Amino acid sequence: MTTSDWLVVAVAGSLASGVVGVVLTLPAWAPGHRSTLLVGRLLGLHAGLVAVGGAAMTAAAIRSWQLVDEEPAEQASATLIEVSGLDGDGRLYALIVLLVVATTACSVLMLTVAARFALSDDVLPRTLACAVLGLEIGLCGFGLAQVLAGSRNAVAIGAVVNLPLVMAAMVACWPPHPDRPSRPRRAPIAAPDR
C-alpha cells in the first residue's frame, strides 16, 4: 500500500470513529452532563478507532492467509502480516484472524459500555468507567515506554499523545463520594418580571 492509500484509510477511520463517538454519547447531550460528556465522547472515539483498526488488521490477516495458501510459483508477493521467517501454514493466519476479531469485538464492547457508564450519575457505573480509563492509561504508559526506548511506531506515538487526554478523562469521570451529595444542577435563570 502506498502513502496515499494509508492516508485514505486514516481519514475514513477518523470519520468512522467520530460517528461512533457521537452515536454513543447522543443521549447525554443534555445541559447537565458537561464534564462526563467529554469522557463519553473520548471513550466512544476510542471504540471507533479500535473497530476500524481491528477491521484493517482482519483484512490484512485474511489477505496474508490467501497469499500463503497460493502455490509458490503463483505467489506474486509476500504476506502482509509476517509472523516468522517460516510462514507457510495458512492455518496460522486463520488463528490470527480469529484472535483479531475476538479481541476487537471484546475491546469495542468494553469501550462502548464504559462510554455509556461514564455518563451515569451513579457510583458503580462511573467506577467501572474509571477502571477502563485506568487500563487505557496503562496502555498509554506502555506506548510512552516504547517511545522513550527509541521506537517510532505510529501506535506508540498516538498512545503518548493520547495519555494527557485519558488522564484528564479519568479526573472528570471520577465518581463522587457516596456520603457526599453530588452538586445540584443549576436551574436556568429566569428573566425578571416587569
Residue 135 CB contacts under 8 Å (≥ 6 apart), including other chains? none
State how far the Cα of 131 lies from the Cα of 111, in Å rounded to an integer: 11
The reported pLDDT for the residue numbered 86 is 47
pTM over 0.85: no
171 band by pLDDT with thresholds 50, 70 and 90: confident
Higher pLDDT, 72 or 102: 102
The reported pLDDT for the residue numbered 8 is 75
Handedness of CA 145, 146, 150, 153 (dihedral sign): negative
- In the DSSP assignment, the letter for residue 81 is S
174 pLDDT higher than 90: no
What is the mean pLDDT of the segment spanning 163-168? Answer: 89
Return the H-helix or E-strand segment holding 96: helix 90-117
Under 8 Å between Cβ of 126 and 175: yes
Q: pLDDT, tens digit, for every residue of 49-78?
A: 888 888 888 887 777 777 776 665 555 555
The reported pLDDT for the residue numbered 134 is 92
